[in-house]
Amino acid sequence: MLKGKTAVVTGGSRGIGKAIALKLAQEGADVAILYAGNEAAAQETCSLIGQSGVTAKAYRCDVADDRQTKETVDAILADFGGIDILVNNAGVVRDGLILSMKEEDFDTVVNTNLKGAFHMIKHTYRHFMKKRSGRIINITSVSGVTGNAGQANYSSAKAGLIGLTKSTAKELAARNVTCNAIAPGFIDTDMTAALADKVREAAVEAIPLKRMGTPGDIAALAAFLAGDEAGYLTGEVIKMDGGLCM
Ligand code: NDP
């Protein structure tokens, strides 16, 4: 149970982040979500979180922006009185072969998926140190573990996020703060809805469990990592991909 705890979920307005925010709320946590621009989705998630009887608030914040993340973390600390669980989930894709990949598309993906998590960890670091407890969960991808043609920017960012996870775990372990990463495979969200039908079919065919994952699959693991029972687990990267990359 997460009653009395406060969770922050970046990219909590839609997809995997939304499912994680709802699951943590069901477990009793108050939840702050960050979103990029989809105000309607963010407000809908907040009202769904509220149905669990906990406090919910949405903050518009581009995690790629250092100043915005600092101001948002400060606002959350003032509004909620503390942070116990940080889920770095916000992410974007800009797929393409390296040969034709624009530098801007490389930078956007790295700045959101990797630097965004760095900003959030940096600005909550002192709080976690003082608190001498906490959970940080980073949503990476199997692309960051295996690499993926057409995703040089994304797999670089997600591989970097694994390095950030392990470094954070080592720096904060003495303060009883754990940091782990979840590496999802193909999960049914807006991000993968953009894939061509043929690509989706080929993906499902390659997955031993013969289905795409659901945001709820990832949320269940995130809730475990956020809970007391995961207290001896840190620096780990857990793939949840239906067996795709075993
Ligand atoms: P979605 O595209 O469905 O949702 C993305 C979320 O991130 C939205 O809430 C969006 O906010 C938010 N977001 C995007 N950019 C920013 C930003 N700069 N600052 C703050 N928030 C931002 O993605 P998924 O739910 O599919 O993916 C969630 C995470 O899981 C990502 O990190 C992704 O890389 C990872 N992942 C997903 C997989 C999949 O198959 N779906 C597989 C492996 C990993 P808004 O609603 O305002 O746009």
Q: Dump pLDDT digits (tens) for 124-156.
A: 999 999 999 999 999 999 999 999 999 999 999
Average pLDDT over every residue of 198-210:
95
Q: Dump pLDDT digits (tens) for 59-114.
A: 999 999 999 999 999 999 999 999 999 999 999 999 999 999 999 999 999 999 99
Strands lying side by side in the sheet with 237-240: 56-60, 30-35, 6-10, 85-88, 134-139, 177-184, 237-240
Pocket of ligand 1 contains residue 64 by CB under 6 Å: yes
Two tokens at 193? 């809805």
Pocket of ligand 1 contains residue 156 by CB under 6 Å: no
Residue 241 · residue 184 · CB < 8 Å: yes
CA dist 212 and 205 (Å) reads: 10
Q: Dump pLDDT digits (tens) for 114-125.
A: 999 999 999 999
pTM: 0.99
Q: Dump pLDDT digits (tens) for 16-68.
A: 999 999 999 999 999 999 999 999 999 999 999 999 999 999 999 999 999 99
Ligand 1 pocket test, pick from 191, 199, 221, 240 with the greatest ligand atom count within 8 Å of Cβ, gives 191
Two tokens at 162? 């694994």
Pocket of ligand 1 contains residue 69 by CB under 6 Å: no
Indicate if 154 belongs to the active site: yes
**What is the whole-number distance in angstroms between the Cα of residue 174 and the centre of ligand 1?**
31
**Residues in Cβ contact with 122 at an 8 Å cutoff, skipping those fewer than 6 apart:** none
Burial 148-173 (b: 16+ CB within 10 A, else e): eeebbbbbbbbbbbbebbbebbeebe
Residue 141 · residue 97 · CB < 8 Å: no
Query: Closest ligand 1 atom to the C-alpha of 187?
Result: 40
pLDDT of residue 86: 99
